[in-house]
A and B are shown apart, each in its own frame.
Chain A
């Protein structure tokens, strides 16, 4: 056995502590380097969009200008606003995004609550269906959905009316706001399955005593939901609402398929890209000369305008997004 003289004991201890400290510092530095490095890779495209959108043709071409434009110009934004029809697109996005998100949050809360707090025949199977709706790719059923909305006939009600002979109705739901609102209302909006799951996990964790006490005090089913459970669930409501707003805002394909006449921002951005590509061939659009650099910069300006509202919301409410991870029922 190694013998340590009493006078040397403290020294060895100190050395061990020193080694531990060095290790910790090395770990911190390594972690900082990795996090900053990968963080830079994530942020780079956004910074790239932002800076390039302010650049002139000269700045883009100049090898001396990397990130910061030498002359800041707003012409790209003017081009983007004009080519996108920004005002209308923004209004359409805002309206569709907010209303759809709200409807989605309310319907998913109800459904999630039902799954969490009640036992009924076929609950497991039904919840399996909720998950299944997330698994089937939209491309599989998109044709059917479009045809269904084109000749809208829920459960054959309209054709029944027609055969009985009361009225000859043919309802075309395409290009109406309802074609996005209706699925959202019935728990089939964009990624509604995830939201139902989140609500279910959250409500499942609430104590049974809360419910019992409310029942003894004469609260009905709806009363328990609206006056006892929901006020406690503010954080999960907010989380779902935020995600719903963001995802609906960013949504391109549903908006394109169901309401393409109302150009939302992502659709308008795609339209602008097509117009620019045509402009480089036809060059009849006076605003943007057939100059690929200005075109690219204008496209960047458009992309930034599309992202800006969501980014602003994220920066302001960032705390809720990140905290929601810790508090919400994602884990269950």
Chain B
């Protein structure tokens, strides 16, 4: 009699799915190695450093645990740190709103069809390309500091003549100051918003044309088209831009606080510098968390 036993399939550990998963891990493995080696270890070390006093022995660090001393120093004995931290937030928050509105506005204009659009886009993306810290600092700082000041004085004087004329013509001096201020702000703004403009523009281009056609047929005004179609459709990118703007200003080398931390690094106060940067990082993460929490609830995600 033939035994009609069903063929028992050996259950393999490496199922098809698992093998595919392994291939995926293999593709991602460069990042895993890099993350552990060049990010995780440094992060852990830097947290440890915040709780020690760093001494030196033949070029190697000697750590002496001091508990919370570093934090006590920066909170209670350092006159500058808390002030810089406060300054950072009071400058960053209004700037955040302005950058968002500005970049959305520019993106809306650059999205429309007009002659010379390619050129206009090329000009507005320029800040992304020329994001060279050192050249910007030469332009921003050096032009205002002593050596080059006299040379730029002429540069400004040209405007000053114009300004005096305007003041004579009956415009208030205070108003002219405000105008000059605005121009300076726009310069700063335009150079800060390159990436945000890019993101918004990409989001605007991705909105299906049929939405606008439908709303035109329904007779919607462009005002309500903006609020009912454009704005909800780009709203996920508002969140992205918010996060980008915060991170950008927070890791910016022009930042007072970052410079203060670097100054501490240069003076070899490694423990203090680490404690400072962690307080700073955690504070920004807290703000970031609050903002993401507030905004993400109002973001509209289209589900096909």
Contact = CB atoms under 8 A, between A and B. Distances in A.
Given A140-B46, A292-B147, A187 B31 contact: yes
Contact of B24 (A114, A186, A267): A114
Interface residues of B, number: 92
A269 B121 CA distance: 29
A192 to B, nearest CB: 8
Nearest to A303: B135
Contacts of B190: 38, 41-42
Given A114-B28, A269-B135, A137 B258 contact: yes
Contact of B123 (A31, A43, A135, A141): A43
Contact of A31 (B24, B114, B150): B114
Contacts of A46: 126, 130
B80 interface: no
Contacts of B22: 120
B265 A143 contact: yes
Interface stretch (A7-15, A75-83, A160-168, A272-280): A272-280
Decide if the interface of chain B is mainly helix, strand, loop or mixed.
helix
A6 interface: no
A130 interface: yes
B132 A306 contact: yes
Contact of B277 (A48, A139, A183): A139
A252 B49 CA distance: 26
Contact of B205 (A130, A185, A280, A325): A325
B81 to A, nearest CB: 14
Contacts of B28: 110-111, 114-115, 118, 120, 123, 126
A331 B203 contact: yes
A133 B126 CA distance: 26
B5 interface: no
Interface string A130-158: 10011111111111110110110011000
Contact of A307 (B26, B135, B206, B258): B135
B41 A148 contact: yes
A322 B35 CA distance: 31
A48 B26 CA distance: 50
B134 interface: yes
Given A137-B250, A140-B46, A325-B205, A293 B151 contact: yes
A314 interface: yes
Contacts of B109: 31, 34-35
Contacts of A45: 139, 187
B148 A296 contact: yes
A266 interface: yes
Interface string A28-46: 1001101100110111111
Interface in B2-34: 17, 20-28, 30-34
A72 B270 CA distance: 50
B135 A42 contact: no
A102 to B, nearest CB: 14
Interface string B29-62: 0111111111101110110010000000001110
B217 interface: no
A208 interface: no
A144 B34 contact: no
A139 B270 CA distance: 11
A175 interface: no
Nearest to A302: B138
Interface in B71-125: 106, 109-110, 112, 114, 118, 120-125
Nearest to A63: B154
B38 A183 contact: yes
A155 B106 contact: no
Nearest to A299: B138
Interface string A46-65: 10110010000000111100
A167 B278 CA distance: 38
Contacts of A250: 130-133, 135
Interface in B119-173: 120-127, 129-135, 138-139, 142, 146-148, 150-152, 154-155, 157-158
Interface of A: 28, 31-32, 34-35, 38-39, 41-46, 48-49, 52, 60-63, 66, 107, 110-111, 113-115, 117-121, 123, 126, 129-130, 133-145, 147-148, 150-151, 154-155, 182-183, 185-188, 196, 221, 225, 246-247, 250, 252-253, 266-267, 269-270, 273, 276-277, 280, 292-293, 295-297, 299, 303, 306-307, 310-311, 314, 318-319, 321-322, 325-326, 328, 330-331
In the complex, the 8 A-B pairs of residues with the closest C-beta atoms, listed nearest first: A118-B24, A186-B34, A114-B27, A144-B42, A120-B21, A250-B132, A187-B31, A114-B28
